[in-house]
Structure 1
Amino acid sequence: MSSIFFNSCLNISCRMISCLTCLVVFSLFVSQCHGGCAEVDSLTEAVAGEGFLLGCISCKKREEVSAQATVDWYFKPLEEEEFRHIFHYDHPTAVVLHEDFSERLQWKGTLNDDVQIGAVYIQNVTFNDSGTYHCTFHRTLFLPLQNEKVVVEKEVELTVVAVANRELTAVIAEIVMYVLIVVLQLWLVVVMVYCYKKIWDDHEAREARKALKAEGSLLGSKGNCDGVQAE
């Protein structure tokens, strides 16, 4: 009986831990999953010699309205005053327009006419890639009465470093993860202690009942023996 109760407690504990673990994992990754379009700022630090994704997102206010958009990227180095036109996307054509980025820029945005994600990927980043990147959407909204043209502009200040610096959010996420692990372990210890105490109490009660039953049997036997002697 005690082994069955112990296994039941252990199974319940394992199921609860599994559920909590799933919730933790889900909470860590849920921010990456979204329905529709969400305007997220681009990262701003790249590592020399590696690749980097320049993010640029412009969501439509009304998804049901059909549209067509083109995307242009411009780049201004740190010590210069003017922007260079480096990239143009007009579905399905992607064109690199500056020799410094020749064969290094790759389109990673929306793959249809209704462009909302205008991201580009820079291969083999160099320190010369540090500077200001300007992203421009030229969008045409196809409305019933009259088409509407919209221009959306965004900028990314990119810094190229030799070694990646850890993001504050990554540090916080790691700390939270370790705290949750410690809390779950402590919670498991508490559950195990509770189950052991419950099993021990049941065992003590069962032994007490056995002792009382044995004592009752002994007294009954002694009474029978006294009755026989009295006769």
Structure 2
Amino acid sequence: MMSCFTFLILCSLFVSQCHGGCAEVDSQTEAVAGEGFLLGCISCKRREEVSARATVDWHFKPLEEDEFRHIFHYDHPSATVLHQDFSDRLSWLGTLDEDVQIGAVYIQNVTFNDSGTYRCTFHRTLLLALQPEHVVVEKEVELTVVAVANRELTAIISEIVMYVLIVVLQLWLIIVMVYCYKKIWNEHEAREERKAVRAEELLLQSKEDFCDGVMAD
């Protein structure tokens, strides 16, 4: 199932290609061993109307180590994996343009050794009319790799609310059905009662007509 962040990344990719707005969304921080994981990194320009050119670098610092390793570099249209530990496992899933605002990369077949700190660095040159301006933006993601995905509290609450709503709706449906049944039954009883009264009136009327006929003879 596609995660919320992946969905937002894909939406942002579509929006960026249409030269629309940009929204910075934090990356998820928990990956499941043996599965894929999207490392998110978004850096929006301060002025959307200004053209720019950017490159993106990813560095990784494993747990219990002090040094960062340079693992990936993107300079449109070239995407280069720079460390053997991520060879054939790391792919670019960011903006496919020189004006990069989404610097996401996808890790395939995550292992427990992938736990640690990931640093995403944007080197952006704003192509201003008077003089280009160079801007550096850094973001970090603390990634934890687990054997089994932990369910988020919001997902658990949403599921509980869903079941509660299902039960409430079923009870409401039963109440409505009972109410409708009683209403139909009462109408049926009233209709039968009116028929009985009408039949009795017709019987009395026929008796009166018979008596009047006998007396007239």
Moved more, 81-90 or 200-209: 200-209
Letter in 1 for 2:96: L
1:219 counterpart = 2:208: no
* Compared CA separation, residues 107 and 182, structure 1 to 2 (3 A): same
SS of the residue corresponding to residue 167 of structure 2 reads helix
Distance of 2:43 and 2:54 partners within structure 1? 10
Unpaired runs of at least 5, structure 1: 1-28
Unpaired runs of at least 5, structure 2: 16-20
Letter in 1 for 2:180: C
Distance of 2:24 and 2:200 partners within structure 1? 79
Question: TM-score, with normalisation over the residues of structure 2?
Answer: 0.83
Distance of 1:164 and 1:74 partners within structure 2? 25
Structure 1 runs (4+) greater than 4 angstroms displaced: 32-36
Distance of 1:210 and 1:59 partners within structure 2? 79
CA deviations on 1:173-194 (whole Å, 9 max, x unpaired) are: 2212212211221222222222
* Compared CA separation, residues 52 and 201, structure 1 to 2 (3 A): same
Letter in 2 for 1:201: N
1:104 counterpart = 2:104: no
CA deviations on 1:168-212 (whole Å, 9 max, x unpaired) are: 222222212212211221222222222222222221222222122
- Displacement of 1:62: 4.2
Question: TM-score, with normalisation over the residues of structure 1?
Answer: 0.78
The alignment covers a number of residue pairs equal to 201
Partner of 1:184: 169
Letter in 1 for 2:209: N
Letter in 1 for 2:189: E
Q: Select 1:73's aligned residue among 58, 74, 78.
A: 58
- Displacement of 1:134: 0.5
1:138 counterpart = 2:87: no
Distance of 1:151 and 1:166 partners within structure 2? 35
Q: Select 2:144's aligned residue among 142, 159, 174.
A: 159
Partner of 2:99: 114
Distance of 1:221 and 1:142 partners within structure 2? 106
- Displacement of 1:129: 0.9
SS of the residue corresponding to residue 163 of structure 1 reads coil
The sequence identity of aligned pairs, in percent, is 78
Greater share of helix residues, 1 or 2? 1
Q: Select 2:114's aligned residue among 129, 148, 169.
A: 129
